């Protein structure tokens, strides 16, 4: 995949298919340590030890609609090609955590891409699932937690309401801009 945000989307979709109702997405940059860490965790059905060993094989998949699964193997390959590493921790009936680490300055590290768009394609379309997105760069961070949003909005305003989606978009863009020191999108002409 050309952008890491697409890997995040793929792994989060795997979490959804695994029956998760809580998915954590962490994107953390440590500029002094030259490290980008991406972690996607869930409370889904989890995997057996044998499945964990096989999941990095592109010809292993639990899907019935196709015989190959390239998402996890490509994510692992991208991390390793960029001077990093990759790990999966999982337990049956407890969930899974996928962690990829990249050398931040490595020439072969794919761009992060638009993680905000990834979140906005996940959250409104999966109303029964909660997402906790943590974004950090050095000692600056922010969190978008749909559980907290639900508490504030109450039962009558869904996360898919256009006003709610627009608020999330603005929240993500503003905080990403503060984190990176500039706007996340170019200003309109």
Q: Where are the alpha helices (DSSP H) in 18-128?
A: 49-54, 71-81, 115-122
Q: Does the global pTM surpass 0.85?
A: yes
Q: Give, for all 189 residues of the chain, the pLDDT tens digit.
A: 589 999 999 999 999 999 999 999 999 999 999 999 999 999 999 998 888 888 877 665 555 554 445 688 899 999 999 999 999 999 999 999 999 999 999 999 999 999 999 999 999 999 999 999 999 999 999 999 999 999 999 989 999 999 999 999 999 999 999 998 876 555 444
Angle at 83 between CA 80 and CA 88, to 5 degrees: 40
- Please give the pLDDT value at position 184: 54
Contacts 24+ apart (CB under 8 A), 144-153: 144/119, 144/168, 144/171, 144/172
Q: What share of the chain is helix, strand, coil (3-state, %, to 5)?
A: 35, 25, 40
In sequence order, which residues have a C-beta less than 8 Å from that of residue 181 and are 6 or more positions away? Answer: none
- Please give the pLDDT value at position 53: 82
Q: What is the pLDDT of residues 119-141, one digit of tens each?
A: 999 999 999 999 999 999 999 99
Residue count of the chain: 189
């Amino acid at each position: 995949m050309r952008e890491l945000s697409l890997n995040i989307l793929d792994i989060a979709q795997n979490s959804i298919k695994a029956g998760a109702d809580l998915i954590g997405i962490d994107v953390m940059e440590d500029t002094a340590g030259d490290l980008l860490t991406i972690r996607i965790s869930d409370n889904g059905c989890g995997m057996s030890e044998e499945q964990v060993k096989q999941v990095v094989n592109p010809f292993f998949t639990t899907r019935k609609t196709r015989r190959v699964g390239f998402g996890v193997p490509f994510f692992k390959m991208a991390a390793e090609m960029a001077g990093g590493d990759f790990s999966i921790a999982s337990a049956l009936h407890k969930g899974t955590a996928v962690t990829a680490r990249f050398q931040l300055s490595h020439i072969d590290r794919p761009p992060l891409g638009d993680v905000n768009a990834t979140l906005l394609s996940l959250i409104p379309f999966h109303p029964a699932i909660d997402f906790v997105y943590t974004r950090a760069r050095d000692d600056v961070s922010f969190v978008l937690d749909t559980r907290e949003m639900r508490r504030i909005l109450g039962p009558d305003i869904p996360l898919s309401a256009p006003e709610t989606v627009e608020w999330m978009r603005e929240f993500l863009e503003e905080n990403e801009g503060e984190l990176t020191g500039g706007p996340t999108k170019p200003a309109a002409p």
